[in-house]
Amino acid sequence: MTACEQLKEEYLKEITTLINTWKENSSRLGKEGAKDEAILETIKVNVGDIFYKMFNISYNNSCKKVEADHVELNKLSKAYLAFFDKIPAPWKEKMVKDKQFNMMEEYYKEEIKLATADKLKNLFIEYYHRFYKEI
């Protein structure tokens, strides 16, 4: 199994676990009548889904088993991490505007999106370094 394949397997397993936890939290909070908190957990699920899909796109474009493991792993990392700049950019802009117009509920939703994206990014970096060292 290549380093790319191992990274994919373990990283996506971790994201899936997080997504399932957030789904369970959202469902539980909804049943308890904490609808606002349930919505925030659903936002985390949506961000997790986005970056899960972006990982697969990055993987399919980078890990083709035609180059050395470290080269493909670097390509994967570069491609995937670029999504963490591109996708959250509008969220950051909206967050600034929401704060400017004192729309704190919307501001907090954007903050949750950014925090979730950061969590997934840091998790990926952790896995990337682990597998890069093994090559």
- Long-range pairs, 79-86, Cβ under 8 A, ≥24: 80/54, 80/55, 80/124, 81/121, 81/124, 81/125, 83/51, 83/54, 83/58, 84/51, 84/117, 84/120, 84/121
Instruction: Please give the pLDDT value at position 17.
Output: 98
Number of domains in the chain: 1
Kindly list the distances between the CA atom of residue 6 and the CA atoms of 9, 75, 106, in Å, as whole numbers in the listed order.
Answer: 5, 15, 38
Instruction: Please give the pLDDT value at position 134.
Output: 77
Instruction: Please give the pLDDT value at position 135.
Output: 73
Instruction: Please give the pLDDT value at position 132.
Output: 83
Condensed to tens digits (0 to 9), the pLDDT of residues 105-135 reads 999 999 999 999 999 999 999 999 998 887 7
User: Binning pLDDT at 50, 70 and 90, where does residue 13 land?
Assistant: very high
Burial (CB count within 10 angstroms: exposed 0-12, middle 13-18, buried 19+), residue 26: buried
Backbone angles phi, psi at 15, to 5 degrees: -65, -40
Q: What is the pTM of this model?
A: 0.95
Condensed to tens digits (0 to 9), the pLDDT of residues 30-76 reads 999 999 999 999 999 999 999 999 999 999 999 999 999 999 999 99
**Segments forming the whole domain that contains residue 50:** 3-134
Instruction: Please give the pLDDT value at position 97.
Output: 97
Q: Are 5 and 63 in contact (CB under 8 A)?
A: yes
Burial (CB count within 10 angstroms: exposed 0-12, middle 13-18, buried 19+), residue 7: buried
